[in-house]
Amino acid sequence: MSDYQIALWSFNLGRAPESVAGFAGQIEEGVKRAADAGARLLILPEYLIECCLAFKPDGLPPEQEMSFLASVGADLVPLLKHLPEKHGVSLLAGTMPVTTAGGITNTAVLLTADGRDIRQDKLCLTPFEQSADTWQLTSGTILRVFELDGLKMAILICLDVEMPALSCLLAGHDLDLLLVPSMTEKPSGYYRVFGCARARAVELMCAVAVCGVVGTSKGTTQNDTNFSGAALYLPCEEEFGHSGVAAEIPPTDGGGGEEPFLIATVPLRQLRELRSGKAEVWPGAWTAEHVTVSAD
């Protein structure tokens, strides 16, 4: 395979579905759109399930929102599982709270066209996600590397992509594509996540696909604004036009109903050739084992 087509959908939380089934129907719209464009994988953002607060129970306290959305997610996934096989498009259904024995995690759910359900918990939680006064989430402890359609992939959720330590853990695994679903309230958050995603493409000599939610959920008590876009980043190599930007849609707050939907191509053959030793200066999975820090 020389190229791999993907779709990234910066879902607008203002869609405000009236039920879990209605939400599943909205997601299928995007799966169909991706299939029509020839994409093999559709990537949805972090916490897009928050739009389901539009039908939360009256009087639901903010600290119980994650439990409610976890129940929504448990009902949603069975309604989505047939879509990848039906349309021939694997679906990263964003992230959702998932109830476990150790607490509630923020978990990415990837449903593949070959019938798998691949999960990745968020590893580095924001202070807000951890707070006992709000969402009270629990961080994950395992970073998964997996294969899909012949590509080696991993998922880093929002703040996770800002952590160089996680990039170091992935460096020796020869990734082709890193998936980054995100939710950022302000332009500062958008530029942190997307800027670090570009850095990961350079460090890992792989493609990095990143998209975030936009708009505002009808029932939100926490996230009055969401600001994001969609992009596919590549290593900054001459073969890819120097800049490392393969495709992108500029950020928006989604206030006017905007909903970035990006179709992009991962140049798989070229990426693998560069990783094999043809990159301009890339040293491979460099560990700095010979370096010590001197603090004078």
Q: In the predicted model, what is the mean pLDDT of residues 235-242?
A: 97
Check: CB of residue 40 under 8 Å from CB of residue 243. Answer: no
242 token code pair: 């120097």
Domain boundaries, the chain: 4-278
With beta carbons less than 8 A apart as the criterion, state whether 177 and 266 touch: yes
pLDDT in tens, 48-86: 999 999 999 999 998 899 999 999 999 999 999 999 999
Question: 156-195 as b/e, with b when 16 or more CB fall inside 10 Å?
Answer: bbbbbbbeeebbeebbeebbbbbbbbbbbbeeebbebbbe
Question: Any idea which residue has 């332009």 for tokens?
Answer: 187
Q: Report, as an integer, the average pLDDT of 1-11.
A: 96
DSSP states of 60-108: --GGGHHHHHHHHHHHHHHHHTTHHHHHT-EEEEEEEEEEETTEEEEEE
> Mean of the per-residue pLDDT values for the chain?
96
The fourth-level CATH superfamily of domain 4-278 is Carbon-nitrogen hydrolase (3.60.110.10)
Tokens describing residue 157: 């959720």
C-alpha angle 197-138-123 in degrees, rounded to nearest 5: 25
Q: Could you report the per-residue pLDDT of 159-171, keeping only the tens digit for each? A: 999 999 999 999 9
Please calculate the CA angle 223-228-231 and round it to the nearest 5 degrees: 150
Give the 3-state secondary structure of residue 233: strand
Of 241, 296, 229, residue with least CA distance to 267 = 241
> What is the number of other CB atoms lying within 10 angstroms of the CB of residue 286?
10
pLDDT at residue 133 tops 80: no
Global pTM?
0.97
Q: Mean per-residue pLDDT for 40-45?
A: 98
Burial of 155 (0-12, 13-18, 19+ CB in 10 A): buried
Query: How far is residue 277 CA from its own chain's centroid?
Result: 29
Residue type, 253: D
Q: What is the per-residue pLDDT for 132?
A: 78
pLDDT higher than threshold 90 for residue 223:
no
DSSP 171: G
Q: Could you tell me which residues are beta bridge partners of residue 7?
A: 42, 263
pLDDT in tens, 187-209: 999 999 999 999 999 999 999 99
Query: What secondary structure letter does DSSP report for 159?
Result: G
